[in-house]
Homo-oligomer: A and B are copies of this chain.
Amino acid sequence: MLLAVDWGTSSLRGALIDPQGRVLSERASARGILSVPAGGFGEVFDAEFGDWSALADLCLISGMAGSRQGWAEAAYCACPAGFGDLSRQLLWLPAAPGPARARRAIVPGLCCETDGVPDVMRGEEVQVFGALALLGLQDATLVLPGTHSKWVTARAGRVQHFRTAMTGEFYALLRSQSLLSRTLPPDDGDLDEPAFLDGVSRALRGPGLLQTAFSVRTLALFERTAPAAMPSYLSGLVIGEELRAQPLEAGGEVVAMGSAALLTRYRLALAQRRISVRAIGAEATWHGLRALADNLETP
C-alpha cells in the first residue's frame, strides 16, 4: 500500500493507493510548506497522515517539501531525465518513531539549463511522468499552468527540457498591487470570453507585456471596455504573453494539467495559435507516484 503525498508551496495533498493503483482515499489541506515552521514538517506530516502511515508500506513525497525551505533538501536530476533517475535519487527520511511502518522518501526535482541560466521544478516532474504513462505517450509538449507555469518537452519518455514562466504571479501582482488594480473591479473568477480572447490576441501580436498591460488603464479611461470585463482581459494579456514566447507549431497538440478553470483559459488561448489541448487531471500525480513505487529497487 502506498501513501502518496504532493506537498507544495501552499497546499498539502495525500492519497492512499492500493497495489492495483486504485485511489482508496484522498485528503487535502492548506498546510503548504510556507505554513510550516522550520523543523515542524514531521509533526505536520504525522498530524495529517499518521493514521495512513500505519496502513502503508511506503510513503513517497513530491513537491516543494524537497526544497531548501522544505522538510529536507532533495537533489535536482539534470535533464534529460527519465523516471529511473527519480527513483535512483530518492531522499530517504529517517524512520519515524512510533507505530508507523511506512518507509518515507522525498522525490527529487528536475533542473535544466538554457542560455547559461538554470531552471528548476519540484513536483511537476511526477505529474509529467504520470501523464505520459496514462496517455501512453513517449514524446509530447506539456504545460502545467499556474503561479509559475512549466512548459515541458518530453522525448522518448524522458524530460528533455523545460522552461518556467511566472504567469500566474505576474497576473496576481498586476491584478492586486499595481496601478491597474485601481480601475479593476473585484475578480469574481467568472470568465468574460470575448474580453479574454481580445487580451490573448493583443498579447500574441506584441510588442510585449510592459506595453500591452498599460492598455488595461487606457481602455478603462476611454470607457472602451466594460469594467467587469477587465480582469478577464488582463488574464488574456498575461496568458497570451506566455504563449507568444513558446515555440509551438500550428496544428500541434499540447498536454495540459491544472485546475478546470485554468485549463478552460489555456484551451481558448492555445486555439488562437491553432494548438489543441489534451487535458489531464490530478490523477497524473497519483499515477506517477504509484508507478515510481512499483519500479523501486529496494534500498
B residues less than 8 Å from A261 (CB atoms): none
Interface residues of A in 235-253 (CB under 8 A from B): 238, 241-242, 244-245
Copies in the complex: 2
Q: What 1/0 mask marks residues of chain A from 207 to 250 whose CB sits below 8 Å from any chain B CB? A: 11111111100110110100000000000001001101100000
Complex-state Cα separation, A138 to B82, whole angstroms: 62
- Determine whether the beta carbon of A115 is less than 8 Å from that of B209: no
B residues less than 8 Å from A272 (CB atoms): none
Complex-state Cα separation, A218 to B76, whole angstroms: 12
Query: Which single member of B163, B208, B221 contacts A120 (CB below 8 Å)?
Result: B221
Complex-state Cα separation, A213 to B208, whole angstroms: 14
Interface residues of A in 161-209 (CB under 8 A from B): 163-167, 169-170, 173-174, 177-179, 202, 205-209
Query: Which single member of B167, B211, B218 contacts A210 (CB below 8 Å)?
Result: B167
Query: Which single member of B219, B221, B224, B245 contacts A208 (CB below 8 Å)?
Result: B245
Nearest CB on B from A118, distance (A):
4
Query: Which single member of B163, B211, B219, B242 contacts A164 (CB below 8 Å)?
Result: B211
Q: A118-B222, A221-B118, A224-B118 are known contacts. Are A241 and B169 too (CB-CB below 8 A)?
A: no
- Determine whether the beta carbon of A244 is less than 8 Å from that of B208: yes
A148 at the interface (CB under 8 A from B): yes
Q: Which A residues are within 8 Å of any B CB, using their own CB?
A: 68, 115, 117-120, 148, 163-167, 169-170, 173-174, 177-179, 202, 205-215, 218-219, 221-222, 224, 238, 241-242, 244-245
Shortest 3 CB-CB contacts between residues of A and residues of B: A207-B245, A165-B210, A208-B245
